[in-house]
């Protein structure tokens, strides 16, 4: 009887992760590991964070420095076909904004990325993107408003911008103030893991594939 109780405790103490699953990170230099080795970037460190420890999660980092939303959209079909991810984390748009590309086009590209990912059977998480404050209030408001609008339209979780917790820690950013250093990557990985873990666990507990 005691052995049975021990076995039951072990079974029910295992996190409800279910079968193995995969996360495709579709991003730009903020996720690609700008000026650092790939193994130092936050996507590589993601599954080492306590909230995701033990999770049978495979992270496919398909991020490319300098990528725009159009570039991500162009590459997406091949990535979906090759990896069949369970989840897609979209971290794109910063380069669109920095280049002053049309906001409507960025929104259309991101909407197409979401639609194609969902059509392939993936769950989508959208990351909010912020621009430097010197781009003009009107443009910033229009650009940054894309993300909550898309999250509402497609009923997606909207993840906070990955640099938000670093703005009061300038030593963790490169001189451009736009890119996080290698020393910042564990902190970024931890905050993203904190956001993702409840979503992934709930999805698995509900029996999603």
> Residues with catalytic annotation?
29, 176, 179
The 3-state secondary structure of 1-61 reads CHHHHHHHHHHHHCCCCCCCEEEEEEECHHHHCCCCCHHHCHHHHHHHCHHHCCCCEEEEE
- Pairing label, strands 21-27, 87-91: parallel
- Number of Cβ atoms within 10 Å of the Cβ of 161: 18
Q: Rounded to 5 degrees, what are φ and ψ at 58?
A: -105, 125
Q: Give the residue among 67, 155, 149 at the shortest CA–CA distance from 108.
A: 149
Residue found under tokens 């979780």: 157
Q: What is the C-alpha to C-alpha distance for residues 196 and 126, in angstroms, rounded to an integer? A: 11
Q: Is 88 left (phi over 0), alpha (psi -120 to 50) or beta?
A: beta
Specify the 3-state DSSP secondary structure of 93: coil
């Amino acid at each position: 009887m005691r052995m049975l109780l021990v076995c039951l405790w072990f079974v029910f103490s295992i996190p409800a992760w279910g079968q193995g699953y995969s996360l495709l990170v579709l991003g730009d230099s903020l996720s690609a590991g700008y000026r650092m080795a790939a193994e130092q970037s936050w996507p590589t460190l993601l599954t080492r964070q306590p909230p995701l420890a033990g999770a049978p999660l495979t992270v496919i980092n398909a991020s490319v420095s300098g990528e725009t939303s159009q570039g991500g959209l162009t590459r997406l079909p091949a990535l979906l076909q090759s990896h069949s991810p369970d989840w897609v984390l979209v971290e794109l748009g910063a380069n669109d904004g920095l280049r002053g590309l049309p906001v409507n086009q960025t929104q259309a590209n991101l909407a197409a990325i979401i639609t194609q990912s969902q059509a392939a059977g993936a769950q989508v998480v959208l990351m909010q993107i912020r621009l430097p404050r010197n781009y003009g209030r009107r443009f910033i408001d229009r650009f940054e408003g894309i993300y909550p609008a898309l999250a509402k339209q497609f009923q997606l979780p909207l993840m906070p911008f990955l640099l938000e917790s670093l703005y009061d820690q300038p030593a963790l950013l490169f001189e451009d103030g736009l890119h996080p250093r290698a020393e910042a990557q564990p902190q970024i990985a931890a905050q993203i893991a904190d956001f993702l873990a409840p979503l992934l666990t709930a999805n698995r507990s509900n029996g999603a594939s």
